[in-house]
Amino acid sequence: MNNLSTRENHGSPPKLALVLGGGGLKGFAHIGVLRALAERGIEPTVFAGTSIGSLICAAHLGGSTVDQMANRARDLRRRDLFRLDRMGMLLERTQAPSIYLSEPLREVCASVVPDKRFDEMESTLLVNTVDLQRGAQVVWGLPGLRHANLVDAVYASCALPGFFPPGVLDGRMCVDGGVVDNLPVAVAAYGMDAVIAVDTGSSSLVTENDIAAQGFPGIYMRAATTMMHALQLGPLERWWGPPMILIRPKVSHIGWFSFSHTDELIDAGYRAAIDALLHFDRCLEAESGIFPRRPVRITVDRDKCIGCTLCVSLAPWVMAMDE
């Protein structure tokens, strides 16, 4: 089905914001989402991203096709991103800004992101970062922040603190926006008829028993995932903006820096988007809310109950259960 909605048949197409969240290489799932959107004939008005989400958005707006992005993702190797800053750690020790050099990541960004300023782009692109000096979120591409270079902004948005050196834009030392907002739906939703958001990095947590054996990267990323998951729950539970299609590819079992699951990630994004977009027309007819709307069933194991009352807060009718 290629028609956008009944709304389009009576006037201009709906104004849509596409928000792609961070998640390390799990973000390759975004490529599959773009394929699904193209098949439906859906072209967003505003593109917003955090970390790899900003990279995919910028590459798309720069003219890269889905097939080109998929091939580039398949060709990517660990050495293309991660090169230890041995000299920095030797000379500066704990004063070194990161454990990896900035150049490989910057080269990857420059290879797919157009060398332009935000105000030179035909479409609106928003790149989410955090200003370390001010301790504040900075979204490049918003009014007053459109003079920056896209490559510099995308690098900063991908610069995971401790892993890569911060990016410097307009005198601001900026890092991965996922530190405060991994899925910047609120900033992208202004003036939109609907939002399509893709969450690959903070949607779910699975139990992992071998964290200690994974060393610093595994421990750090587990902590980061837990933090982002907690930060994301509140805004989505209290969503006040235009109706939202929330796409959550099933990628929680794949590591943030796994280079061996590229096709699986792209396919997971495509399948999740196809399923979610079945609710697209219904979403556009709503005033607000998050789609798809899924029924939630709460069960209580009485033998394991510790009296935390969480079940009651989520489902007050639980209080009426027989003893």
Residue 45: the pLDDT is 96
Question: Residues of 260-293 as b/e, b for ≥16 C-beta within 10 angstroms?
Answer: ebbebbbbbbbbbbbebbebbeebbeeeeebbbe
- Geometric angle at alpha carbon 30, from 169 and 173, rounded to 5°: 15
pLDDT bracket for residue 110 (50, 70, 90): very high
Residue 287: the pLDDT is 93
Going from N- to C-terminal start, the domains of the chain cover: 8-298
Rounded to 10 deg, the angle between the 262-276 and 66-75 helix axes is 150
pLDDT in tens, 273-319: 999 999 999 999 999 999 997 666 667 777 777 777 666 666 655 54
Distance from CA of residue 214 to its chain's centroid? 24
Mean pLDDT over 133-142 rounds to: 96
Residue 62: the pLDDT is 97
Residue 83: the pLDDT is 83
**CA–CA separation, 54 vs 29, rounded Å?**
13
Residue 1: the pLDDT is 37
Rounded to 10 deg, the angle between the 66-75 and 52-61 helix axes is 140
Residue 251: the pLDDT is 93
CB 166 within 8 A of CB 156: yes
Owner of token pair 């150049």 = 103
Residue 17: the pLDDT is 98
Mean pLDDT over 118-129 rounds to: 98
Task: Decide which of 157 and 202 is more confident.
Answer: 157
Burial of 257 (0-12, 13-18, 19+ CB in 10 A): middle
**Residue 164 in this model has a pLDDT that exceeds 60:** yes
Residue 6: the pLDDT is 41
Mean pLDDT over 201-207 rounds to: 66
Mean pLDDT over 203-222 rounds to: 69
The reported pTM is 0.84
Task: Decide which of 204 and 97 is more confident.
Answer: 97
Residue 314: the pLDDT is 61
**Residue 243 in this model has a pLDDT that exceeds 70:** yes
| C-alpha dist (Å) from residue 118 to 15, 91, 122, 143, 286 | 20, 37, 9, 10, 32
- Geometric angle at alpha carbon 184, from 172 and 292, rounded to 5°: 170
**Residue 8 in this model has a pLDDT that exceeds 50:** no
Mean pLDDT over 197-202 rounds to: 88
**CA–CA separation, 74 vs 240, rounded Å?**
38
Residue 203: the pLDDT is 60
| Arithmetic mean of pLDDT over the chain | 87
Mean pLDDT over 82-88 rounds to: 75
**Residues listed for the chain:** 323
Sign of the alpha-carbon torsion through 128, 105, 102, 260? positive
Mean pLDDT over 30-51 rounds to: 98
Task: Decide which of 216 and 23 is more confident.
Answer: 23
CB 21 within 8 A of CB 50: yes
CATH architecture, range 8-298: 3-Layer(aba) Sandwich (3.40)
Please name every residue paired with 174 in a beta bridge, in sequence order, or none if there are none: 131, 167
Write out the two tokens for 135.
Answer: 């301790």
